[in-house]
């Protein structure tokens, strides 16, 4: 396999419970790659492996040539993460939230950190909300602010955990458009964990589908290919919104 991100035989077992085993795929630079599947299939667990928060029980994952198992710190420098809840600090303004990674991980003076943070917030459409607290903005704005913070250090890879969760269809569509815009303007490689079918069809170049019963990967390809050509009953049920 070749790619900016390589997942090779990734397995996760907790005690006697196997979440998934022998998952393998690669992700190309500049790709929007979606990890999908039903509840409990291991999507978020795989994401935790990919951002070097959870060592795989077996197998390995590399990001820009760095192993999550042996070079976790180097992997994390390549990645910006948007967590499902946004995970913003409630007592800090949006400007302060986005400035924080810059003040911690760079030698930039405070004024420069704030200027970069303003640019990132402007990039996600929040240029007029820099002084607001998370409690003063909508759920969609929280997601956008979290993306701005994930982009603060200009990582080549952006990972988003359920970015559309809890959003209305219009706001979700706007977030999909933002993700594609970041890919197109910045060349950012985006890895998105979601089970939201409209978003998957709108943004994914390719996707990997996990299944809890199969305990692993059951489909890999573009969403349109999987919808049209897959004969796997779970894949067809997912993409055609059918019951089994």
For residues 196-201, give the mean pLDDT.
90
- Predicted confidence (pLDDT) at residue 200 exceeds the cutoff of 90: yes
Q: Is the dihedral of CA 161, 210, 75, 69 positive or negative?
A: positive
* Distance, CA of 79 to CA of 95 (rounded, Å): 20
- Neighbour tally for 76: CB within 10 Å: 17
C-alpha–C-alpha distance, residues 29 and 187, integer Å: 8
The pLDDT tens digits for 53-99 are 999 999 999 999 999 999 999 999 999 999 877 788 889 999 999 99
CA 215/CA 41 separation, integer angstroms: 7
Domain coordinates in residue numbering, the chain: 1-78+155-162+179-244, 81-154
Where residue 164 falls among pLDDT bands split at 50, 70, 90?
A: confident
* Section 6-31 average pLDDT: 94
What percentage of the chain reaches a pLDDT higher than 70?
99
Give the full edge-to-edge strand order of the sheet including 79-82.
79-82, 157-161, 189-193, 32-36, 206-211, 216-221
Condensed to tens digits (0 to 9), the pLDDT of residues 20-34 reads 999 999 999 999 999
- pLDDT value, residue 83: 86
Nearest by Cα to 179 from 171, 167, 170, 190: 190
Residue 205 has pLDDT above 80, yes or no: yes
| pLDDT reading at 237 higher than 90 | no
pLDDT of residue 40: 83
Q: Is the pLDDT of residue 127 over 70?
A: yes
Q: What is the pLDDT of residue 90?
A: 87
Determine the topology of domain 1-78+155-162+179-244 in CATH.
Answer: Rossmann fold (3.40.50)
């Amino acid at each position: 396999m070749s790619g900016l991100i390589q997942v090779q035989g990734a397995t996760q077992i907790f005690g006697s419970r196997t979440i998934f085993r022998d998952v393998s795929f690669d992700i190309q630079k500049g790709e929007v790659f979606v990890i999908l599947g039903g509840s409990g299939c291991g999507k978020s667990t795989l994401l935790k492996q990919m951002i070097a928060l959870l060592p795989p029980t077996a197998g390995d994952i590399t990001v820009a040539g760095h192993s999550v198992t042996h070079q976790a710190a180097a992997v994390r420098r390549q990645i910006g993460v948007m967590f499902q809840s946004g995970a913003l600090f409630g007592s800090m303004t949006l400007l302060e939230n986005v400035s924080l990674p810059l003040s911690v991980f760079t030698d930039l003076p405070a004024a420069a950190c704030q200027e970069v943070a303003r640019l990132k917030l402007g990039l996600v459409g929040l240029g007029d909300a820099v002084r607001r607290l998370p409690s003063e903005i909508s759920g969609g704005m929280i997601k956008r602010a979290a993306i701005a913070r994930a982009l603060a250090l200009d990582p080549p890879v952006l990972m988003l955990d359920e970015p559309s969760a809890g959003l209305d269809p219009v706001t979700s569509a706007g977030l999909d458009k933002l993700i594609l815009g970041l890919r197109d303007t910045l060349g950012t490689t985006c890895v998105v964990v979601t089970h939201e079918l409209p978003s998957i069809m709108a943004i994914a170049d390719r996707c990997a589908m996990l299944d809890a019963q199969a305990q692993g990967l059951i489909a890999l390809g573009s969403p349109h290919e999987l919808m049209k050509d897959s004969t796997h009953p779970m894949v067809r049920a997912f993409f055609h919104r059918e019951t089994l």
